[in-house]
Amino acid sequence: MIATIQYNSKKLKIDLSQPLDISIAIRSDKPGVNAWYIGPPKIEPEVFENGTISVAEGAPVNFNTITFNPHSHGTHTETVGHITKEKYSINKHLKQFFFMAEVVTVAPEKDGDDYVISAKQLQFLLGNKKREAIVIRTIPNTKDKKWRQYSNTNWTYFQEDAIKLLVRKGIKHLLVDLPSVDREEDGGELKGHNAFWNTKGILRSDCTITEFIYVSNKIKDGAYILNLQIAPFENDASPSKPILYKILE
């Protein structure tokens, strides 16, 4: 099914039958991706006095209760409410769902004991391109990103200047294959988050950060249409399902 997307003065065609899913599912049947020092999610049937509400246990329906943290388990999209006293619900502040996006692949640079993504790298990759969203794949890009346990690993993070560059370029939606844009332990400074949402100036409350994506090596760098899907949680963050579509020539 071919659809036409209006972007600025251009009409772009995409094939809705060829989605490229870059999300990581929340799961409890086997180990999934995790961070921030908490246990795995739980997906379990409710138990009442008359038994377990599961078809396998003889009930007429499956009736599972899910316990998880969107920031720790699987792909999620967050608002500035993640770092502010005031509540900013993802369900209220993400109102558009299709964006022009650029997929880029970055090899993190060594900086002392850390690996970082720098402004120089992003400038080289983006050049003068005008995009609403950027999808960042770090290398090495192995499938174990789908179940990696990130707690206490000092993962790759963005230098503050790199995030400020994205803001200057008009990027409103930042998608990364990491648990956070910031260092795992930074004393609560959260320089990347604060820079992206401009918390010291006019707040960019309509902008989002999506973490824990996985971009297959089969997906080439370049321009795509991004469909950023969320669950309607009244919360600072929600599990999400970002989908890319190739732009047809």
Name the helix (H) or strand (E) containing 163. Answer: helix 160-168
Instruction: Report, as an integer, the average pLDDT of 115-130.
Output: 97
Instruction: Report, as an integer, the average pLDDT of 140-153.
Output: 97
Q: What is the mean pLDDT of the chain?
A: 96
Using a 10 angstrom Cβ sphere, with 0-12 exposed, 13-18 middle and 19 or more buried, the burial of residue 205 is middle
> Residue 93: its pLDDT value, please?
97
> Residue 9: its pLDDT value, please?
83
Residue range 75-113, pLDDT digits in tens: 999 999 999 999 999 999 999 999 999 999 999 999 999
Q: What number does CATH give the domain 2-33+70-248? A: 3.50.30.50
pLDDT band per the 50, 70, 90 thresholds, residue 154: very high
Using a 10 angstrom Cβ sphere, with 0-12 exposed, 13-18 middle and 19 or more buried, the burial of residue 117 is buried
For the chain, domain boundaries: 2-33+70-248
pLDDT band per the 50, 70, 90 thresholds, residue 6: confident
Measured CA to CA, the distance from residue 215 to residue 196 in angstroms comes to: 22
Q: How many CB atoms lie within 10 A of CB 186?
A: 12
Buried b (16+ CB within 10 A) or exposed e, 137-155: bbeeeeeebbebebeeeeb
> Residue 136: its pLDDT value, please?
98
> Residue 226: its pLDDT value, please?
98
- The structure tokens listed for 15 are 């094939």
Residue range 219-245, pLDDT digits in tens: 999 999 999 999 999 999 999 999 999
Q: What is the pTM of this model?
A: 0.96
> Residue 5: its pLDDT value, please?
86
| pLDDT at residue 249 tops 80 | no
